[in-house]
Chains A and B, each alone.
Chain A
Amino acid sequence: MNPFEEYVRYETRRQFFGRTAGVAGTAALATLFGRDFLGGKPSRAETIPAPALHFPPKAKHVIYLHMVGGPPQMDLYDYKPKMNDWYDKDLPDSVRQGQRLTTMTSGQKRFPIAPSKYKFAQHGKSGMWVSELLPYTAKMVDDLCFVRSLQTEAINHEPAITYMQTGNQVTGRPCLGAWVSYGLGSINDNLPTFVVLVAKPSNTEQIQAISARLWSAGYLPGTHAGVSFRSGGDPILYINNPSGVSTDVRRNTLDGLRALNEINYKSVGDPETHTRIQQYELAFRMQASVPELTNVAGEPESTYKLYGDEARKPGTFAHSVLLARRLVERGVRFIQIYHNNWDTHSNVAGRLPSQCKDVDQPCYGLIQDLKSRGLYDETLVIWGGEFGRTIYSQGGLSHENYGRDHHPRCYTVWLAGGGSKAGHIHGETCDFSYNVVKDPVHIHNFHATLLRLLGFDNERFTYRYQGLDQKLTGVEPAKVIQEMMA
């Protein structure tokens, strides 16, 4: 048997057993986090078994590190030395080409070029240029696949984040994590398939809104929505017994509850009663498994050497990526981490260093850790924001400090592991980091490539809604970027 068929068989079996909620006749249809049971029967939506994989998958897990606000690509990865000669000169109209601007700078009289104040150096065999703000990331450039030519149409945060996450600027579509949950299903009976962690940046001057709509299941069954683990209090809402209620007392009540529900089932015969009994048992198991997951007390000192001391503090980005590794170890499919405050309209110099410090070592630690645990090849790590930033300064410009407005035409993201091509640098922008001059990658194509790494053909990975076969990558055909894949 070839490895692909074997994998599919394995996964099918896992899905069957893993998802069986013990309801006769609907076994293969139930997924871990619940089922629509309008009228007692799964709707047609739910009767679609998870779609079969179209290709041998490279990645089985995804850790998506979203830098909310839009990091300035020319201060981090997109090295533009010629801009030093352009200091405080106006951005040529031939570069801007009528690009629409946000109303924050559309009233500006001038668009003076702000060269990056940070030093860049080339690293690794790939020779990737990296800013001095990211010394750890610089050490691992040969593991990463950089895309310097990602493109979006959105110029404001809400639509742009939504676009990056759901493939559409208007809210209401399923996000990438929900699609992956729908496509791959669960391989852990005691944890959600799709987990969201909202990390707290050390600086919070320019926070953007992040809401549950970003991890909603959209038109997919609600079971595929992300479950947000909280950094403070209980990691999952209501996971702890009430004060003064021991596990024994809880077990006792659940035993009584189960016996009474069984009697009810005998007289009424509603199959949902059985489902409910199972879900109460799963809730009880989660009360043990979730604290076990989030209790990092057993992590050795070496973990903190690797990720940095910040990883000891719940809620930090470093702690969140450590949890992400623990989630991957336990079979969770998709971990979405949000790190906020990258929206540097002003004061790049005051804010960017702490933003980078928040994420630099933890990202490095995560990748080394995944490697040493043998999880790297099957885990796709994604780093990036929702758009880039302008080469011209928003507000006051000096050699020491400047601001940058939103910029949709190019921004830099990177992938690691999960079948992405290590040490690859994809795409190129003009001297102004304003327009893509080589290998543009639209969000839809980026998504198509991610899906391919997970084993799906984006054109066939669909869900029927409002009479259409809906896709993450939208109506127009999207293209897989082969060069980004190992």
Chain B
Amino acid sequence: MNRFLIAIALVFTARFATAADAGAPSYNRDVRPILQEHCFTCHGPDSAARKADLRLDRRDDAIKAGAIDVTDADQSEMLVRILSDDPDEIMPPPKSKKKLSAHDKEVIRRWIAAGAAYEPHWSFIAPKRPSLPHVKNESWVKNPIDRFILEKLEAAGLEPAPEADRRTLARRLSLDLTGLPPAVEDVERFVNDAAPNAYEKLVDRLLASPRWGEHRGRYWLDAARYADTHGIHFDNFREMWSYRDRVFASFNQNMPFDQFTVEQLAGDLIPNATLEQKISSGFNRCNITTNEGGAIDEEYRVLYDRDRAETTAQVWLGMTAGCAVCHDHKYDPLSQREFYSFAAYFNNTTQNAMDGNIKDTPPVLFVPRPEDRPRWESIDGEIVAARAKVVERKMAARAEFDRWLAALKPNEFPAKIPTDSLAFHAPLSEGNGGQLKIEVEGKSRTIDLSAGTKWKPGKIADQAFVARPGVEVAIAEPGDFDTNQPFSHGVWIQIPKREITGSAYARMDERDDHRGWDLWIENGRVATHIIHKWPEKALKVIAREPLKPGEWTHILVVYDGSAKAQGVKIYYNGESKAVDYQVNALSETIRTKTPFKLAQRSEGSRLDDIALQDLRIYGRALKADEIQAIARTSIVAAIAAKPVDKRGDSEKNDLFAWWLATLDDSYKSADRRVNELTRERSEIESRGTKAHVMNERNEPAYAYVLYRGEYDKRRDKVEPGVPAVLPPMPADYPRNRLGLARWLVSGEHPLTARVTVNRFWQELFGSGIVRTTGDFGITGEAPSHPELLDYLAVDFRESGWDVKRFYKLMVMSATYRQSAAATAAKIEKDPANRLLSRGPRFRMDAEMIRDYALAVSGLLSPRIGGPSVKPYQPEGVWEAVAMPESNTRNYRRDHGESLYRRSVYTLWKRAAPPASMDVFNAPSREVCTVRRERTDTPLQALVTLNDEQYVEAARNLAQIALRQGGATNETKLDMIARRLLARSFSAEESRIALASFEQILAHYKNHIDDAKKLLETGESPRDGSLDPAEHAAWTMLCNELMNLDEVLNK
């Protein structure tokens, strides 16, 4: 029996038991499955595979071709060929290995005889609210769902199961609505609640929990194929968790599903879109991307469009559009041309084909932390206003400056440069000769330079020192500081190109663990090392902004003696720059006997061809205004020293700028305001995250039909459009993703509401009313309860797409509340529980299993949202598959709270999904998944028995029982049972569990070292006052009980 007949048997036996034997066969129910299996491959929608130019899937074509003759059924060529004995004539042809049964042939004959009425496929006909069925056992019915379910049960001669007890219901509801087991007190409160609406109160409480959004959102993330890496080749980190959090928030605020749809597919195109709506458009940015060297852009653009089209079709239409990539769909009325029209909606993005291996591939938006949001929204305006004030003051001050300039006495300038604690000064401006003037602790002297020293035009004096190979400048005294000594140092510098790395100057002994400090240039970025022993006892701070090659910049580095990277500041031209703390572990002394050297460390790391001027080292931390004075005054001092007629215009402007910044208080306060605001802005930026968003090009969207789906075999150019079998796009909708999204949730759409409620149903009941959740097409399975599906779809839509209301409807039903216990009769007549003759019971998803263990053991962190975390994982899982260049190659697990976050926050690397969840059928998130597999394997047993995090959870659960579980083993066990199962053990169960415990305890009493080893599992602290053997034995008992079938199943 083929699967359609099985499905039909299930669906229609009751009502139409005799329909196939008497009266006219129905096309959808009786005839199409036969034609589908035997005829449509060659005589169906696929134009490329069509034989004899005959199609039987459309009535007019079949009649025109003579295949069907409604006036005389027996003259129908179709029937003649089907009934033929001649191997050259008979259909299907013998070489197809398909054969019609006598019954099938008879059905076709009677159908033609009755007029050969065709029907569109059921799912393409818009659902109508069906009338509610009458049932015998009216008293069982709690809401309309139950009528549809009971009708079929009664027809099958089955009774519904009795309502589950309150403890079971509390657990089931909590798991279904929040993804977490119920707290013991919540169970007791519900069990003892005498109110008639106690159950409904519990439902409402759970629906209001913020855990609801995380749990519902998790299913959506599978469909959206959300993950934290790009997927292909390097599989580098992708920072888009703001999308994940946005999904959770959308469910928590119970956003109507039509609005949700529009935001997910076209949040960026909504007029005056909010930041949140744009973040939601990240749905279409979750696809896998590449940056493989040698990859061809167009090939990947086509793949991305295809993935987006297939995902959208799967999630909203329940259609397997992928079949139409290469040819017309074999069965569903979706031509290849229509597929590319559909894909054209997504073929209009400004996104590059190559992801650049960066975490924030454009188009992206900045997302501030929620608490920064108000400032972020106002700060740009404030900056503009503050800048305007600066300009305003500048205009107004010019006359004042000119008066000042006229009266200027040049020798006043050097006095403005701080000399307090100036430990070392080298002007580096000699410009010739074999000697350098230096000043050490206020005392001048000269040192000899080797031959070959070069000079070039400088910034604050005519000549500047140029570092050249072979020219070594070593001075014994400067910079001999210790770790707790604040100091500052700086220099005017010009680098020849960005790609240079080395020390501009250093007092650092490379042969002695790099002890000392330096001014370091790394690919143009300024950094400093302060080191006792590299890298274990050292710090390294590096500015994010590189120097501009060929331009003079004044650098100053301040260290406050705190041994912390946070105590280091780097200034360019007197302005503090954003830095990264690359190493932050300094301790012990940094003193070294090696001399201070220019353009190198003790041995190497030379920086040749850099130019230096005015090098200063201070034995204290300079203040910001002092640093500005050095940076600015040193320039103007040089200008002012020139005769008036030798000062150029640009020099005068430099002087004016200095005057404003140094002497003009109004200007200074205006300028300070700009600086404060820009610093605040950059701090908000460094705290926030990015959102990957969609961004449409300005021109209208289009795509090409691709011959056999190959990117370089373009055929016709097509405009965006929706498949003809579905309702047309209203004329006033825009021809872009926004129009597409609105069309999907428009009133008469036959698929979106059905497909959506079916997916929701699947989450609670284990499988959908249509079991093939992603395929509502002709080859998908027929619904087990078609009228129920239509009822739910219409009800959902007419409720305003109210998601929480819909779940409440499901869980309030008597159907949902049934006990899961099966009887022999039920196993016999309803083996897969398709008729819902009992309550849902199935193994939980990977995330729920892990969250369950964390929750019952008290380890679970309540924190919601934020960057993804890296909990326990065996070594080598990433390393085994990642490329050396990948930045997600080395799994460095987190510590503390991050080990115990909900599983939805675990960092998801597509090439190697979280190992323990992968084993439990968590998808790789490379492609859209609307139905996870649910297998039962020995590898799963190994996870929950042996994985460090499950053993740690058992240890913590044992500790709770030992500390709070009362005096006896029985009371301790009872506490464990209530936390794990929401119920107490029976006497028999207790006896088995305690017997297990006694044996294990005896073992650990004799093997106390083993007990201690076991108790070292996991990072969480252990109560050292507990007896190790006892604690170990309870740990292993908890480990045993946490593996109960009842625990692993919902």
Query: Which A residues fall within an 8 A CB radius of B?
Result: 25, 33-41, 43-44, 100, 102-104, 155-158, 170-172, 198, 204, 207-213, 216, 221-223, 227-228, 230-234, 236-246, 248-250, 252-257, 259-261, 263-265, 267-273, 275-277, 279-280, 282-283, 286-287, 405-406, 460, 466-468, 475
Is B395 at the interface (CB under 8 A from chain A)? no
Pairs of residues from A and B, 7 with the lowest C-beta to C-beta distance, nearest first = A467-B779, A41-B832, A102-B294, A244-B1014, A244-B1013, A256-B996, A34-B937
A259, B880: Cβ atoms under 8 Å? Answer: no
A272, B936: Cβ atoms under 8 Å? Answer: yes
Q: Which residues of B contact A242 (CB under 8 A)?
A: 946, 948, 951, 1014, 1017, 1039
12 A-B pairs whose Cβ atoms sit less than 8 Å apart in the complex: A39-B833, A157-B292, A209-B886, A238-B942, A244-B1014, A245-B1014, A245-B1036, A263-B992, A270-B1049, A276-B936, A466-B775, A467-B777
Excluding A244-B1016, A279-B936, A286-B938, 15 further A-B contacts by CB distance (< 8 Å) are A34-B935, A211-B235, A212-B924, A222-B933, A232-B876, A236-B942, A237-B877, A237-B915, A238-B947, A244-B1013, A249-B1036, A265-B1045, A267-B821, A276-B941, A283-B939
Q: Which residues of B contact A231 (CB under 8 A)?
A: 880
Q: Which residues of A contact B919 (CB under 8 A)?
A: 237
Q: Which residues of A contact B881 (CB under 8 A)?
A: 198, 209-212
CB-nearest residue of chain B to A273: B1045
Set B233, B322, B1003: member contacting A248, Cβ < 8 A: B1003
Is B940 at the interface (CB under 8 A from chain A)? yes
Q: Which residues of B contact A282 (CB under 8 A)?
A: 938, 941
Q: Which residues of A contact B841 (CB under 8 A)?
A: 40, 268, 270
CB-nearest residue of chain B to A280: B941
Q: A36-B933, A256-B996 are in contact. Are A276 and B827 (CB under 8 A)?
A: no
User: How far apart are the CA atoms of A207 and B924 in the complex, in Å?
Assistant: 22
Q: A243-B1017, A259-B992, A280-B1043 are in contact. Are A269 and B937 (CB under 8 A)?
A: no
A36, B988: Cβ atoms under 8 Å? Answer: no
Set A33, A244, A259, A267: member contacting B1010, Cβ < 8 A: A244
Set B6, B827, B911: member contacting A212, Cβ < 8 A: B911
Min CB–CB distance B258 → chain A (angstroms): 28
Q: Which residues of B contact A253 (CB under 8 A)?
A: 945, 996, 1000, 1036-1037, 1039-1040, 1043
Q: Which residues of B contact A44 (CB under 8 A)?
A: 3, 6
Min CB–CB distance B503 → chain A (angstroms): 29
A260, B326: Cβ atoms under 8 Å? Answer: no
CB-nearest residue of chain B to A271: B827
Is B968 at the interface (CB under 8 A from chain A)? no
Q: Which residues of B contact A286 (CB under 8 A)?
A: 938, 942
Set A198, A241, A475: member contacting B880, Cβ < 8 A: A198
User: How far apart are the CA atoms of A282 and B843 in the complex, in Å?
Assistant: 18
Is B65 at the interface (CB under 8 A from chain A)? no
Q: Which residues of B contact A237 (CB under 8 A)?
A: 874, 877, 915-916, 919, 939, 942-943
B884, A264: Cβ atoms under 8 Å? Answer: no
Query: Which B residues fall within an 8 A CB radius of A?
Result: 3, 6, 97, 232-235, 288, 290, 292-296, 303, 320, 322-323, 326-327, 330-332, 712, 766-767, 771, 775, 777-780, 820-824, 827, 831-834, 841-843, 874-877, 880-884, 886, 910-913, 915-916, 918-919, 921, 924, 926-927, 933-943, 945-948, 951, 986, 988-989, 992-993, 995-996, 999-1000, 1003, 1007, 1009-1017, 1032, 1036-1037, 1039-1041, 1043-1046, 1048-1049
B946, A257: Cβ atoms under 8 Å? Answer: no
User: How far apart are the CA atoms of A257 and B1047 in the complex, in Å?
Assistant: 11
User: How far apart are the CA atoms of A256 and B771 in the complex, in Å?
Assistant: 36
Min CB–CB distance A441 → chain B (angstroms): 21
B933, A33: Cβ atoms under 8 Å? Answer: no
Q: Which residues of A contact B771 (CB under 8 A)?
A: 38, 43
CB-nearest residue of chain B to A256: B996
CB-nearest residue of chain B to A192: B939
B882, A209: Cβ atoms under 8 Å? Answer: yes
Set A34, A230, A238: member contacting B936, Cβ < 8 A: A34
B1000, A227: Cβ atoms under 8 Å? Answer: no
B911, A209: Cβ atoms under 8 Å? Answer: yes
B820, A270: Cβ atoms under 8 Å? Answer: yes
B999, A211: Cβ atoms under 8 Å? Answer: no
Min CB–CB distance A75 → chain B (angstroms): 20
Min CB–CB distance A207 → chain B (angstroms): 5
B820, A268: Cβ atoms under 8 Å? Answer: yes
Set A36, A264, A287: member contacting B1045, Cβ < 8 A: A264
Min CB–CB distance A43 → chain B (angstroms): 8
User: How far apart are the CA atoms of A256 and B999 in the complex, in Å?
Assistant: 11
Q: Which residues of A contact B874 (CB under 8 A)?
A: 233-234, 237-238
A38, B934: Cβ atoms under 8 Å? Answer: yes
Q: Which residues of A contact B3 (CB under 8 A)?
A: 44
Q: Which residues of A contact B993 (CB under 8 A)?
A: 256, 260
A268, B822: Cβ atoms under 8 Å? Answer: yes
Q: Which residues of B contact A468 (CB under 8 A)?
A: 323, 330, 779
Q: Which residues of A contact B767 (CB under 8 A)?
A: 38-39
A250, B945: Cβ atoms under 8 Å? Answer: yes
A268, B777: Cβ atoms under 8 Å? Answer: no
User: How far apart are the CA atoms of A249 and B775 in the complex, in Å?
Assistant: 48
A283, B938: Cβ atoms under 8 Å? Answer: yes
Q: A156-B295, A212-B881, A276-B1045 are in contact. Are A39 and B1014 (CB under 8 A)?
A: no
Min CB–CB distance A98 → chain B (angstroms): 11
Set B778, B886, B936, B995: member contacting A37, Cβ < 8 A: B936
A223, B937: Cβ atoms under 8 Å? Answer: yes
CB-nearest residue of chain A to B7: A44
B1000, A249: Cβ atoms under 8 Å? Answer: yes
User: How far apart are the CA atoms of A406 and B933 in the complex, in Å?
Assistant: 37
User: How far apart are the CA atoms of A406 and B295 in the complex, in Å?
Assistant: 11
B834, A39: Cβ atoms under 8 Å? Answer: yes
B1003, A249: Cβ atoms under 8 Å? Answer: yes
Q: Which residues of A contact B999 (CB under 8 A)?
A: 252
Q: Which of A33, A198, A204, A405 has the largest count of B CB atoms less than 10 A from its CB?
A: A33
Q: Which residues of B contact A273 (CB under 8 A)?
A: 1045
Min CB–CB distance B564 → chain A (angstroms): 36
A40, B992: Cβ atoms under 8 Å? Answer: no
Min CB–CB distance A39 → chain B (angstroms): 4
B295, A103: Cβ atoms under 8 Å? Answer: yes
B880, A36: Cβ atoms under 8 Å? Answer: no
User: How far apart are the CA atoms of A405 and B993 in the complex, in Å?
Assistant: 65
CB-nearest residue of chain B to A340: B883
Min CB–CB distance A22 → chain B (angstroms): 12
Set B290, B833, B986, B1000: member contacting A158, Cβ < 8 A: B290
CB-nearest residue of chain B to A274: B1045
Q: Which residues of B contact A103 (CB under 8 A)?
A: 293-296
Q: Which residues of A contact B989 (CB under 8 A)?
A: 260, 263
Q: Which residues of B contact A207 (CB under 8 A)?
A: 883-884
A246, B938: Cβ atoms under 8 Å? Answer: no
Q: Which residues of B contact A104 (CB under 8 A)?
A: 293-294
CB-nearest residue of chain A to B921: A222
Q: A256-B993, A269-B822, A270-B841 are in contact. Are A261 and B1044 (CB under 8 A)?
A: yes
User: How far apart are the CA atoms of A171 and B926 in the complex, in Å?
Assistant: 9
Min CB–CB distance B911 → chain A (angstroms): 4
Q: Which of B880, B919, B924, B927 has the largest count of A CB atoms less than 10 A from its CB?
A: B880
Min CB–CB distance B16 → chain A (angstroms): 22
A467, B821: Cβ atoms under 8 Å? Answer: no
Q: Which residues of B contact A40 (CB under 8 A)?
A: 831-833, 841-842
CB-nearest residue of chain A to B295: A156
Q: Which residues of A contact B1014 (CB under 8 A)?
A: 242-245
Q: Which residues of A contact B322 (CB under 8 A)?
A: 466
User: How far apart are the CA atoms of A475 and B927 in the complex, in Å?
Assistant: 22
User: How far apart are the CA atoms of A273 and B841 in the complex, in Å?
Assistant: 11
Min CB–CB distance B853 → chain A (angstroms): 14
Set A38, A170, A221, A257: member contacting B842, Cβ < 8 A: A38
A213, B996: Cβ atoms under 8 Å? Answer: no
Set B875, B996, B1009: member contacting A233, Cβ < 8 A: B875
Set A212, A240, A279: member contacting B941, Cβ < 8 A: A279
